[in-house]
Amino acid sequence: MKIIQYGDLDRFDKIQHIADDANVKKYLQVCWQNQHGKINCSTCIKCATTRLGLAMLGKLDDYHF
């Protein structure tokens, strides 16, 4: 798989764009650490900023971190 980034969206804009997608809700993985066998550690900067963005959108409860 090759990921190509297009556009100038910041992290919050990206989160806002994908937050309502059912597959994203089910499979979102932002963490690179995979601590204790968890897909998202909830504490690294990537997890924390994603959680903050989802919280700002009122959608954090839709996700399992």
pLDDT tens string 16-57: 999 999 999 999 999 887 777 778 888 899 999 999 999 999
Residue with tokens 């900067």: 45
pLDDT of residue 20: 95
pLDDT of residue 29: 92
The dihedral sign for the CA sequence 40, 43, 18, 10: negative
- The token pair at 1 is 């798989």
Domain positions in the chain are 11-62
pLDDT of residue 2: 82
Q: Does residue 14 carry a pLDDT above 80?
A: yes
